[in-house]
Structure 1
């Protein structure tokens, strides 16, 4: 083994090194019993971020419409409130926010891949509002807010 090969394995990270030694991680969602691709597979990160952007823009428009002529900071705070309420109502009833619906995503419970119960939707939304849990992911691309609520975002 020359130095380039050793440095290359070090730079590629522990997952690549473990795979070279024979570890099989499988596809994202395999541990959860989800398919590799198609409906019911783990939602791609790009679509999830896109859905979040769409939802946030919609909530900001609603907040600005109701607070026209007031301070911008107040509208930003109200946009977060609108976002949290919208998330609880839409994910708790139909399983997806408007942004997720437009991009073909949904939030399901891991118990039976059905709709997430309302109390778990509230837990998920509160953690999502804190932002930090949504930035901590596992190898299945599930944020801490999804793990603690027993949910997963999948393709519709």
Structure 2
């Protein structure tokens, strides 16, 4: 019985993941085998948000060119469609969106240096449309869209 109640009675610190030697992880991605700094390290939410803003502004610009008006009622719907299509295509082909490229980020699979692929990119982008999955993160800073698809966002440079 003590094991069942031990994690919630011990407070939130008891639920943190432990390393093989029983200590808490020191940095984001340590238990996943990723480095602390430099290329290949997991990215914080600031860079993620910056890349998203760049992608979104680019999609607004393309949608404005399509509709011919910046504040047209259809611009927001077309912006979402452009953002979705560009996200799926670029992550499938290059493992990053244009905004992620500018910010020095890359979508990677947890299994290793393998391409993300169309199905994972499609599922990841579909979850990002709802915004909420990206705001709920784990101890490594991975959003629900990354956990569901087996991906994560790492620094490329």
Aligned to 2:42: 42
More helix by share: 1
C-alpha separation in 2, matches of 1:76 and 1:45: 24
Q: Could you say what the CA RMSD is over the residues aligned between the two structures, in angstroms?
A: 1.9
Aligned to 1:57: 57
Structure 1 unmatched ranges of 5 or more: 1-12
Aligned to 2:112: 112
Aligned to 2:129: 129
Q: Which 4+ stretches in 1 moved above 4 angstroms?
A: none
Alignment CA distance shift 1:102-1:70 (3 Å): closer
* Alpha-carbon displacement from aligned partner over 1:73-95 (angstroms, at most 9, x marks no partner): 21011100100000000001001
3-state SS, counterpart of residue 112 of structure 2: coil
TM-score normalised according to structure 2 size: 0.83
Deviates further, 115-124 or 51-60: 115-124
| Residues paired across the two proteins, number | 140
Structure 2 unmatched ranges of 5 or more: 1-10, 17-21
TM-score normalised according to structure 1 size: 0.83
Aligned to 1:30: 30
**Which residues of 2 match residues 1-156 of structure 1 at below 5 A?**
14-15=12-13, 23-69=23-69, 72-156=72-156
